[in-house]
Chain A
Amino acid sequence: MNVDSRKRELVKEFSPMLLKSTKWSKIWIGILVGFVLWGLAAFVIQVVKGHEVTGMRDNVVWGIYIINFIFFVCLSYSGAFISGILHFFKTPWKNSISRIVEIITVVSLIIGPIFILLCIGRLDRLHYLFLYPRIQSPITWDIIAIITDLIGCFIYLYLTFIPDFAILRDNSEDVPEWRRKLYTFLAIGYRDTPTQRNRLHKITRIMSAMIIALAIVAYTVLAWIFSLTLQPGWNSTIFAPYFIVAGLYSGVGVIIIAMYLIRKYFKLDHYIRKVHFIGAGVILLVISLLFGYFTFSEYFSRWFSHKTHDADLLNTLFNKYFWEFIFANYIGVLVPIVILFFKRFRTIKSITFAAVIAVLGLWLNRYLIVVPTLETPYLPIQDTRPEFIHYSATWIEWALSFAGIAAFVLFFILIMRLVPIIPMSGIIDYEREGKGGTYSVTQYQLK
């Protein structure tokens, strides 16, 4: 195989994805920017008028911001976890999804912590967290974990991008000058020599193992923010592994949705194939079984022990939040299991549908972990008017939530404009190792 000509072919194949904008893609980006601006307007109102404009009050001090924070951060951790496993164990079909996973990891780790900032009533005192940290506080552990994980994920993502930056630098004749300069800068002189290749593979492999460990630590610390308190519904010994499983569940779900959309809109049917969806679907099935098991254990032990406050919480969940509870913990688990368990249901669309249900169920599951517990506190507080006890999100919170989702998609699209969504270097490595024949990973070969 002539590696240089193969690189040129791949660049030629992926260039339209990087350079050309269609009318619909511009409209789509415009809509996303619109959502982000709407969120910014809501943010300005929140900063000027204070948290009064949100539904958060003395009892329910955490609302959908913290739910979005957990959701995005868990998404990131699960992305890092899955990506690390794909690289570390050299999974055969990693080329098709590894970059999607890596981008999800980094983008959600940027978006997630923004939501925690929105929860803070006195943003002007934010630096106190760093000036006067209490090492005993899980919040401090979480800050350390998130910052470390963010840096680790950035380094890891960058390592996986370097060979592609080098390929783009050497084979992009018709690209604007700024883009070529950017590729040259980011490729840091990588020439794909055996020494450089071995060195890069070595540090990428070590970083992938590190990323798995970091994700587990960060997941655990995030769960401890809840489980180390004595609040009913939170004080649980299995919360950390439960969070890991739940995070993986939502992570795999979002990856499947992203695979479906990217495959459809960039016409990458020959790279992201049914076999990949089935593989991801089976993983989703295993995780959904685990998630269902953890959810059952969690609620069953609370119901059986019947401590006063736990019983109050379950009563709230089964009355006030009945349908949300059913959707989050029954439909959100059982529908994906049924679809993914039977072979004949395993089509690309049904697997994606199962993933959508799983992701929606998971978001609602987070809502049910946070809000009902805060609505049933241990200690009565002064001036407990009903609107202070019961939480309902305001348009400001919804605007910022949708802005977060829009920003996530926007960043995702922007990164896809910088590097191909299918790692070219991965395809080269794959073919170099002589496996290309079995898996036919390129359009070229299909022709």
Chain B
Amino acid sequence: MRISFFKYSLSIVLLSLFLASNIFAQEQDLSNYRMRFRFKSIKQPDGSRILEASFVATNKKDRKDRVPVYEADINFLNVLGEEKVPLGASKTSKEGIARITLPEDQYYLKDEEGRITLMALFKGTEELDGEEEEISIKDIHLDLGLIEKDSIKTVQVKAHTLDSLGVQIPVEETDIIISVEGMLSKMIIDEGTIEEGGYEFEMPIGLPGDVNGNITVYAIIEDHDDYGDVVQKNTESWGILNEQHKEDENTLWSEAAPIWMYVVLTILLVGIWANFVYTGIHLFKIKKEGEELELKTENE
């Protein structure tokens, strides 16, 4: 009976350790993952262009389980028919992103419609198959004006492309996002559509600016089939200065805690420690009485 009891206990312990097997190790098998290779172009406010490829493996069953492909060689090319011109190469970061920046005056091969075809190419390794992704975009010129019309602060966006003769063609039916720069991220203040090469709206008032009252406005075209990503920005002293922040006192987030916390903590601690001291005094009295008894016994 004694042995069987220990057997029971031991088997339960072993069973629980066996059941908890996934707390010891996790294994990754490449066949459980689907490779995702994405490519985009972002035209910057200064006219330069970022080419960005992302290379991530996603678990087929658990979409939250994403493994970036690290240190993969990505080549960026400008393609026209059979002709391929290398634009640069980069390795993917720990986030699985490879990126190069092309200057404003970069020469691109274009087709008759003025489209630039760009390609991101991963040649593959022993473990991973090759990947390639192509995008075809037109070079768009985006201007962002911050002007006052009859004392009304107005955001004015103008957008055009150039044909092969250099004639400006107004952009049509293109969604645009207007946002302002914040401390951590951009805050969207308007979304609209560019018609006949322009879009404008009244700037909301009362937005806080930086220390000098400057506010930076962004006009962004996102993931457009014809233009890719395009960003333009402009700065104007339209922001209001933040009022001097009055420091909170005695709150959960201030340096000093709320008064009631000090009061409660003090009452609790004083109450408990008073009891400890009370106990100590009585122990001292017990000791004293013991010593007196000992002396008395010795004298007798």
Q: Which of B36-44, B157-165, B284-292 contacts A (4 or more CB under 8 A)?
A: B284-292
Contact B289 A196 (CB under 8 A): yes
- The answer to whether B294 has its CB under 8 Å from any CB of chain A is yes
The docked-state distance in angstroms from the alpha carbon of A189 to that of B285 is 10
- Check B279–A136 contact: CB distance below 8 A: no
Across the interface, which residues of A come within 8 angstroms of B8, CB to CB?
A: 353
B257 pairs with A148, CB closer than 8 A:
no
CB of A360 within 8 A of CB of B291, answer: no
The residue from A134, A188, A320, A323 contacting B257, defined by CB atoms under 8 A apart: A134
B289: A residues at CB distance < 8 A: 189, 191, 193, 195-196
Q: Any chain A CB within 8 A of the CB of B207?
A: no
On chain B, the number of residues with a Cβ less than 8 Å from chain A's Cβ atoms is: 46
A206 to B281, CA, bound (A): 14
Q: Decide: B12 and A196 in contact? CB cutoff 8 A.
A: no
A232, CB-defined interface residue at 8 Å: no
Contact with A along B6-24 (1 / 0, CB 8 A): 0011001100100110111
Do the beta carbons of B26 and A392 come within 8 Å of each other?
Answer: yes
Hey, which chain B residues are within 8 Å of A386, CB to CB? 26, 28, 65, 67
Find out whether the CB atom of A135 lies under 8 angstroms from the CB atom of B23: no
Is the Cβ of B293 less than 8 Å from the Cβ of A188?
Answer: no
Q: Are B278 and A206 in contact (CB under 8 A)?
A: yes
CA distance A217 to B67 in the complex (A): 45
Q: What residues on B are CB-neighbors of A356 within 8 Å?
A: 9, 12
Find A203's partner among B67, B258, B279, B288 (CB 8 Å cutoff): B279
Cβ 8 A contact of A383, one of B20, B22, B94, B287: B94
In the complex, chain A residues whose CB is within 8 Å of the CB of B65: 386
Which residues A334-377 have CB closer than 8 A to chain B?
349, 352-353, 356-357, 360, 364, 367, 371
A378 to chain B, nearest CB (A): 13
What is the interface residue range for chain A against chain B? 35 or more
Residue in B closest to A195 when the chains form the complex, CB atoms: B289
Which of A200, A349, A352 has the most B CB atoms < 10 Å from its CB? Answer: A349
In angstroms, Cα B297 to Cα A191, docked, is 12
Contact status B22-A207, CB under 8 Å: no
Is B275's beta carbon under 8 Å from chain A? yes
- A390 and B26 in contact (CB under 8 A), knowing A134-B257, A327-B16? yes
Are B5 and A383 touching (Cβ within 8 A)?
A: no
Q: Are A152 and B276 in contact (CB under 8 A)?
A: yes
B95 in contact (CB, < 8 A): yes
- Do the beta carbons of B275 and A207 come within 8 Å of each other? yes
Minimum CB–CB distance from B72 to chain A (whole Å) comes to 15
Is there an interface contact between B276 and A392, defined as CB atoms closer than 8 Å? no
Please give, as numbers and ranges, the residues of chain B lying within 8 Å of A141 by CB-CB distance: 265
The answer to whether A217 touches B268, judged by C-beta atoms less than 8 angstroms apart, is: yes
* CB contact list, B242-293 vs A, under 8 A: 252-253, 257-258, 261-262, 265, 268-269, 272-273, 275-276, 278-279, 282-283, 285-291, 293
The binding surface of chain B is classed by DSSP as: helix
| Complex interface: chain A residues within 8 A of B184 (CB) | none
Contact B13 A360, beta carbon cutoff 8 Å? yes
Q: Does B25 contact A (CB under 8 A)?
A: yes
Instruction: Give B1 Cβ to nearest chain A Cβ, in Å.
Output: 7
Q: How far is the CA of A203 from the CA of B279 in the complex (A)?
A: 6
Asked if residues B19 and A199 are in contact (CB atoms below 8 Å), the reply is no
Measured CA separation A162–B284 after assembly (Å): 13
Chain B, Cβ-Cβ closest to A391: B23
The answer to whether A364 and B16 have CB atoms under 8 Å apart is yes
Decide: A392 and B24 in contact? CB cutoff 8 A. yes
> How far in angstroms is the closest Cβ of chain A from B255?
8
Contacts of B24 in A (CB 8 A): 392-393
> A360 contacts B12, CB within 8 Å?
yes
**Closest partner residue, chain B, to A209 (CB atom):** B275
* CA of A141 to CA of B262, assembled, Å: 12
Q: How far is the CA of A371 from the CA of B269 in the complex (A)?
A: 33
Residue of B nearest to A376 (CB): B64
Most buried by A among B16, B265, B269, B273: B16
CA gap between A393 and B282 in the complex, in Å: 49
Docked pose: A352 CA to B8 CA in angstroms = 11
Which residues of B sit under 8 angstroms from A320, Cβ to Cβ?
Answer: 22
In the assembled complex, 9 residue pairs joining A and B whose CB atoms fall closer than 8 Å, in A order, are A152-B272, A155-B276, A155-B279, A162-B286, A193-B289, A203-B278, A324-B20, A383-B94, A385-B67
- Measured CB to CB, the residues of A under 8 A from B are 134-136, 141, 144, 148, 151-152, 155, 159, 162, 187-191, 193, 195-196, 199-200, 202-203, 206-207, 210, 214, 217, 320-321, 323-324, 327, 349, 352-353, 356-357, 360, 364, 367, 371, 383, 385-387, 390-393
Question: Which 4 A-B pairs have CB atoms at the shortest separation, nearest pair first?
Answer: A189-B290, A323-B19, A135-B257, A188-B287
